[in-house]
Amino acid sequence: MDLAYMAELPTQEFVERRAKLFEYLDENSVAVIFSATEQTRSKDTTYPFRQNSYFWYLTGFNEPDAALVLIRKKGKNQTALFLRPNDPEMEIWNGRRLGIEQAPNKLQIDCAFPIETLKEQLISLLADIGTLYHLQGERMQNDLLIGEILSQSVKLTDLRPHLDEMRLFKSTNEIRLMQQAGQISALGHIRAMREMRPNRFEYEIESEILHEFNRFGARFPSYNSIVAGGENACILHYTENDRPLQDGDLVLIDAGCEFSMYAGDITRTFPVNGKFSQPQREIYEIVLAAQKRALELLVVGNNIQQVNDEVVRIKVEGLIRLGILQGNVDDLIAHQAYREFYMHGLGHWLGLDVHDVGSYCNKTQNGDRNSKKRDRTLEVGMVLTVEPGLYISPNSNVPEQYKGIGVRIEDNIVITEYGNKNLTCAVPKEIDDIERLMVER
Give catalytic residues, as residue numbers.
Answer: 44, 237, 254, 265, 344, 348, 355, 387, 391, 408, 410
Q: Are 30 and 70 in contact (CB under 8 A)?
A: yes
Is residue 355 within 8 Å of residue 348, measured between CB atoms?
A: yes
Determine phi and psi for 276, rounding to 5 degrees: -70, 135
Residues in contact with 365: Cβ distance below 8 Å, sequence separation at least 6, in sequence order: none
- Write out the H or E segment, with its range, that includes residue 174: helix 172-195
Q: What is the DSSP letter of 354?
A: S
Residues 6+ apart with CB under 8 A from 79: 18, 68, 69, 70, 71, 109, 110, 111
DSSP, collapsed to helix, strand or coil, labels residue 308 as helix
Parallel, antiparallel, or unpaired: how do β-strands 131-134 and 155-158 relate?
parallel
Collapsed DSSP state (helix, strand, coil) of residue 336: coil
Is residue 351 within 8 Å of residue 263, measured between CB atoms?
Answer: yes
CA 85, CA 432: separation in Å to the nearest integer? 58
Of 135, 59, 71, the closest CA to residue 98 belongs to 59
Calculate ∠ Cα 33-37-41, nearest 5°. Answer: 155
Sequence-distant (≥ 6) Cβ neighbours of residue 296 within 8 angstroms: none
- Cβ-based neighbour number of residue 200 at 10 Å: 17
Which of 165-178 are b and which e, b meaning 16 or more Cβ less than 10 Å from the residue's Cβ?
eebbebeeebbbbb
